[in-house]
Structure 1
């Protein structure tokens, strides 16, 4: 049986909650996270302070809702890109990498919200929708590494990492989602994310434009280098040259 349609009252409430989040995100973009204030948003919406607290009990609850939305948006973009990529680890790595940057460039304020300096006095709850959404975004990357691991392990399996090297809660979460994953593969996932995230962060915060005419070209070169770092160069030569070429990676470089 189909779920009943929401009532008009429920639709209006959902629209108001979304408007609150939209205004809050704009305030973050214009003034920083510390400027988020339920009372200020209520004034802008022509709503009483008491009324807005019926949507979000505190400023932190509002920020948590924003964080959950942002991570889910990022995760959806990553999942869609990886699912649409042709079979094979090279295509998945390239698709993930481009989707990560494309989403960040299209949503710079959202990127800064979850990856910039935290709001004073705010901490993302360890449990709940925001934590679940963050885990979802991380799972997309780990899944890509799992697919690449048969090749990457020849270069990284003996790196010496053990589960004891990671935060216990983090390790438990990863092992629950990927029971057969080796601790060395987790290190590869973190290092892969670090290299992609580093360039994207430099671009989003305006630190690449003074030095580089085309950040996209630099990023494509990093993606190509990462396929070699993951031990995927032979796979790229055999199976994924069209994917590399479509993303602007020179075919000659992809087949070296």
Structure 2
């Protein structure tokens, strides 16, 4: 079955909600998350305060919608990258994952800074919200890659001391459901790999590599190759940036 056809009123409402979120991201990029104001967004869009509150009744409701969209967009990009590589080729999938992460981040700097920059003052993500589920989806994608690589990586990392109690319950519950054989050491390794991927990407997005390097993509690709080797996987020979 196809998607149900929206009425004109529903289409206009969806378009306005999307414009509110786009305007909010611009405001946050210009003045910081702490200064985000529904009234300021309404004024910028030529709306009344009452009209915008009919879309998002609080600032936190708008932020929650933004974060849901951001993590969903990132997860979609990562999944699409995975699907371009055969499932059994874990090394290439890790490279594809890493490059998709960087490309998404440099293409969506405001969104990246919303979810990976300074926390929005006073905002706390509701447990079980669409935003937390979308965030978990992103985390699980890398964990699944480490699960596929674990038979090669286990010898080097299985002796590390980790317990399930070291991690947040929502993450471990999801992992137990999707990868029941995975160990706490493997989850710790997935988080460390994410930290290495994320570190160079964050430096680039926030402009901290400009005075050090001409081609951050080349540096990042070399880091991904090193990560792949650290998992005991064969490093792809012809893997360009």
Q: Check whether TM > 0.5.
A: yes
What is the DSSP-based 3-state SS (H/G/I as helix, E as strand, rest coil) of the residue aligned with 2:187? helix
Structure 1 partner of 2:237 = 241
What is the DSSP-based 3-state SS (H/G/I as helix, E as strand, rest coil) of the residue aligned with 2:119? coil
Gaps of 5+ in 1: 249-256
Q: How many angstroms apart in 2 are the aligned matches of 1:222 and 1:24? A: 34
Q: How does 1:1-256 map to 2 (within 5 A)?
A: 1-86=1-86, 87-232=88-233, 235-236=234-235, 240-242=236-238, 244=239, 247-248=240-241
Q: How many angstroms apart in 1 are the aligned matches of 2:44 and 2:225? A: 47
- In the TM superposition, what whole-angstrom CA distance separates every residue of 1:87-140 from its partner, at most 9, and x where no partner exists? 411101100010111111111111000000011111122221100110111111
Offset of residue 2 of structure 1 = 4.2
Q: How many angstroms apart in 2 are the aligned matches of 1:165 and 1:22? A: 37
What is the DSSP-based 3-state SS (H/G/I as helix, E as strand, rest coil) of the residue aligned with 1:241? coil
Gaps of 5+ in 2: none
- In the TM superposition, what whole-angstrom CA distance separates every residue of 1:139-163 from its partner, at most 9, and x where no partner exists? 1111111111111112112212221
| TM-score of the two chains, using structure 2 as the length reference | 0.95
After superposing on structure 2, the runs of 4+ consecutive aligned residues of structure 1 that deviate more than 4 Å are: none
Give the total of aligned pairs. Answer: 240
- In the TM superposition, what whole-angstrom CA distance separates every residue of 1:39-60 from its partner, at most 9, and x where no partner exists? 1111122211111111001001
What is the DSSP-based 3-state SS (H/G/I as helix, E as strand, rest coil) of the residue aligned with 2:162? coil
